[in-house]
Amino acid sequence: RENALKLVEPLLDSNEPLRHLVLAMGAETNAKVVFQLAFTLGESRDPSAAALLAQIAKQHGEDPWIRTAVLSSAGRSTEPLLRALASDTNFAASGTGATLLEQLALVVGVRHDAGEMDRVLELIATQLNRHAGLQRRLLGALGAGLRRAGKRLDVAELESSAGRWLATDLFENAFETATRSTADDAARVSAVQLLACAPYAQTRDVLTGLISPRQSNALQTAAVRALGDYSDGEIAQSLIERFLASPPEVQNEIIAALLSREERTAVFLTAAQAGDVPASAVEPTRRQLLLSHKSESIRALAAAVFGQGAGSERGAVVARYRQELSNATGNQERGAKTFERLCATCHQLAGKGFVIGPNLASSPSRDPDALALHVFDPNHYVLPNYVQYVVLDRAGKTYSGMIAAQTATSITLKREKEASDTILRSDIEDISSTGKSLMPEGLEKDLTPADFADLVSYLQAQADPAATNAPDPRKVRDKGTLPGTLIEPAKK
């Protein structure tokens, strides 16, 4: 039977007796046959095929393979299938039903046929009016499909009054939730994702306003992703203006958004060349992609920002120490003393020092060439977790350090010798990334080539496999709280 269904596919719409036989297989229970039946029904334009697909979805929708087969056959009958599934509100509100309806709404959005979208929105507004959460999910899926097609859901263009009312109501609720500081963080992120389906002119002020140190990382990240998905020309400059005040995770999202479009890439590189954003924030792989970009103008800008001419003074120091190191033999005992003298305030090794900077017992850090680069040109590339920030609170006090932990309500900065400060987001007046590592430049003044050879010898001797494979404590971010971070703002 499974193979017979494959054979009759080309004849379904031209041979009525065969089609009736296939459409009569609704009681089939064999999973393999049902799986193939769902595929075969996609070859028919008969409305009864969509009805049978809906029946299969309801009976076997929890099986991911059969659900995939149903969705693959929905291309010709997306709207009828969606209508048939939504008519059974109990199924529609179930986990399986809601997932299927979301995927079908996504397809409708990708096709962006105005008439079909109007009808589907009216269906969502009228048949699912007792399921507000599901209505919101389906509007989001429809909007996500439109975004994939480079479109947005403009309420003013909708013909259906019921659909227009629903979209207006859901968007207004999303605006209110996204901007309400007392709302649950997950709800605010979800609201931002829905707002991203609306035209840029309607969401610009809200989304840019959410990229603020007073907002959680998750909310800022969602706002950056939403903005990055628009094509409007002013977005690049808006993101650049907020770069230095953003935490590492958000800076990464901003860079991704800026480099996702050629015109924004040019704006970003121009800003980096002018010093408005730190070139050190761009990791090496992205640098190489920019240096080999298809656009000649972008390649030229990238060469000016990241090429051999950039940071030549530091580069000369690195080259000198690498050369000296190739002709020197270090002493481990002297290297241990050099480590304690210059490195232990921010690095821990063999039980000595403080855990601020990267784990120097890891194999990449023991590589002499890499070590020379990071010691003598610490700002060549700064891992986001090790960028230094300066925070000014509302009382006028200044704090500095690396962001060690964050919650929805606070930021913790860590500095030398593991000293730390926790600041409530609501108390932050200003925050800015220096774009530089906490590790200072100019260590060659305190570290002779012989000292450096000793230090490298000492580090290479720390070959403990457990230390090599140990997770970097700075990369294991606190997902909950540090002592003192769950404190309420002072009552005014």
Q: Which two tokens stand for residue 368?
A: 């002499």
Instruction: Give the model's pLDDT for residue 238.
Output: 95
Range of the domain at 252: 227-308
Tell me the average pLDDT across 397-418: 82
Rounded-to-integer distance, Cα 176 and Cα 166, Å? 16
Average pLDDT, the chain: 85
Residue 58 lies in a domain: no
In a domain? residue 271? yes
pTM (2 decimals)?
Answer: 0.69
Residue 361: what pLDDT? 65
**What is the rounded radius of gyration, in angstroms, for the C-alpha atoms of the chain?**
29
Model confidence pLDDT, tens digit, residues 1-15: 889 999 988 988 899
Q: What is the CA angle 209-214-215, rounded to 5?
A: 70
- Identity of the residue numbered 466: A
Instruction: Work out whether strand 387-393 and strand 398-406 pair parallel, antiparallel, or are unpaired.
Output: antiparallel
pLDDT band, residue 285 (cuts 50/70/90): low
Distances (CA, A) of 481 to 217, 219, 410: 14, 18, 9
Reported as a pLDDT band with limits 50, 70 and 90, residue 466 is: very low
Q: What is the mean pLDDT of residues 122-133?
A: 93
pLDDT tens string 199-240: 999 999 999 999 999 999 999 999 999 999 999 999 999 999
Residue 16 lies in a domain: no
Lowest-confidence range among 43-57, 183-197, 310-324, 462-476? 462-476
pLDDT tens for each residue of 57-110: 999 988 999 999 999 998 888 999 999 999 999 999 999 999 999 999 999 999
Q: Is residue 483 situated within a structural domain?
A: no
- % of the chain beyond a pLDDT of 70: 91
Average pLDDT for residues 248-276, to the nearest whole number?
Answer: 91
Would 409 be classed as within a structural domain?
Answer: no
Establish if 286 belongs to a structural domain: yes
> In the predicted model, is pLDDT for residue 488 greater than 90?
no
Higher pLDDT, 307 or 194: 194
How many structural domains is the chain composed of? 1
Residue 473 has pLDDT above 70, yes or no: no
Which one is predicted more confidently, 391 or 222? 222
From 123-127, 139-143, 350-354, the region with the lowest mean pLDDT: 350-354
**Is 257 a domain residue?**
yes
**Does the residue 158 lie in any domain?**
no
Residue 434 has pLDDT above 50, yes or no: yes
